[in-house]
Structures are given as structure tokens and as C-alpha cells.
Amino acid sequence: MPARPAAGGGRWVDVAPDRLTRWLNGFTGRHGQTGVELDAGVVHLRGADGSQAQLYPPPGAPLTESVEDFVDAALTERRLGLLLARQSAVAVGIADGPRLTQSKVDTSYVQSRTAAGGWSQQRFARRRVNQAKAAAEEAADIAVRLLLPELATLACVVAGGDRRTVEGVLADPRLAPVAAARAERFLDVPEPRRTVLEHAVAQARAIRVRVVDPVATP
């Protein structure tokens, strides 16, 4: 996945667990190294040229107190639940390490625009609300069937897609335990499909790294 701008400066990159050691060695090789610190499970690197990097553990990984333990924890395969939702589709899955072992994808039609004003517009709006409500209920049913029976075996549940839609699905009282197990990380994904769900497994397992380059001197 390409680098993405980070709020406050720098850029975000995702590093797959099996590339983490190579990435750490590459950072030192490119920038030199003057310091390494861990704070609340986050690795802070400072390069000799002023570069900085903060490495955040993947969802479900325990907090660690050394870089070696951080790498070991990142490499450890965990069982994750995934819940991806947008207005017109939901994808729920369970991953054992990098492998998607259970999944269900469902699409539901939700009216996206109105064609006229007045009473017609109001009728379209009511229809759209009803369609969205029905889609959220169907998505919740899928999550109940796939995630609830396996919840005790999952390190966490990683959500993604449209935040409002996801929150609507998790508002179902049956999914309170799933909401409590949700990881802080939220995946930016397009309309959920099987291929999107498969790619989301790699996103969920990745180590997120915020890289801040040194300020260039005139």
C-alpha cells in the first residue's frame, strides 16, 4: 500500500509482519540511529539525520517492552475478526494469521439520490432510510452468525469501511460483545467484496509506521 499523508506531518506506511525486521534494518541503514524508545507499546526511532519513525503494533498484539519483543509479537499469528461495512454492502470474516478461513459478503440496495423535490423527494428519503435500516439489520445478523460463536477465540475484531454504517451495525444489542472487542484501528476500504475482505486481512495484520523526514536545511 502506498504511503499516506499523516496529520501533523510525515506519512503513514504499512509494513507486513514478515518484512518488519528488514524495514528496521533499512531505516538504520538509510538514516543511522541515535535512539530507540518504547512508550505504551509504540516503538519510537530517531535517526542520526533527524528522521523519526513511530511503529504501532498490529491489532490484537500485546504491549511490549523491547524492540525484540515487539517484533516477536508482530510475527505471532493471531485470530482476527473483521467487519467491513458501507451502505450497500457488508463483509464479515475470520482470519487465522494471513488466511481468511470464514467469510460472508452481502450486498443490499440503498437509494443513493433523489430525482425530484417536494413529496417525491420526501418519499425517496423515507425509502432510503428504510433501506439503510434493513441493510444494517441484515449486516448485524451476519455478524451475529459469524463473529459471536468465535469471539472467545479472537484476539480482537477489526472494523472498516464507513464509520457511520459500522456504528449502526454494532448498535445492535446482540453485538455488544463484538463492539467491546473492537480494535482501535479502523480500515479504509472501498465497498466490501470478497477481494476487499481478503486484502483487509493484510491491512489488519500490518504494523502501521509514521515516518517523519528531517527538515531540509537551506
- Tell me the pLDDT tens digit for each residue of 152-199: 999 999 999 999 999 999 999 999 999 999 999 999 999 999 999 999
Question: Could you report the per-residue pLDDT of 102-152, keeping only the tens digit for each?
Answer: 999 998 744 454 444 554 566 545 555 555 566 678 899 999 999 999 999
The answer to whether the beta carbons of residues 155 and 78 sit under 8 Å apart is: yes
Candidate CATH numbers 3.60.21.10, 3.30.465.10, 1.10.760.10, 3.30.420.60; the one for domain 79-205: 3.30.420.60
Q: Give the whole-number percent of the chain exceeding pLDDT 70.
A: 85
What is the pTM for the complete model shown? 0.85
What is the rounded distance in angstroms from the CA atom of residue 77 to the CA atom of residue 143?
A: 22
- 45-54 average pLDDT score: 94
- Strand pairing class (79-86; 89-96): antiparallel
What's the full length of the chain, in residues? 218
Contacts of 175 (CB under 8 A, 6+ apart): 140, 143, 144, 147, 148, 169
What's at 51, amino acid-wise? Answer: S
Question: Is the CB of residue 104 less than 8 Å from the CB of residue 192?
Answer: no
Ranges assigned E (strand) in 89-181: 89-96, 99-107, 156-161
Count Cβ neighbours within 10 Å for each residue of 129-144 and write b for 16 or more, e otherwise: eebbeebbeebbbbbe
What value does the mean pLDDT of the chain take? 88
pLDDT at 161: 96
Whole-number pLDDT of residue 136:
76
Confidence of residue 3 (pLDDT cuts 50, 70, 90): confident
Q: In which region does residue 9 sit, left (phi positive, over 0), alpha (psi from -120 to 50) or beta (all else)?
A: left
pLDDT at 11 over 90: yes
Q: Which three cell numbers, joined as nine digits, stand for 145? A: 452468525
- Name the grid cell of 211: 515516518
Give the residue extent of every domain in the chain.
4-77+206-212, 79-205
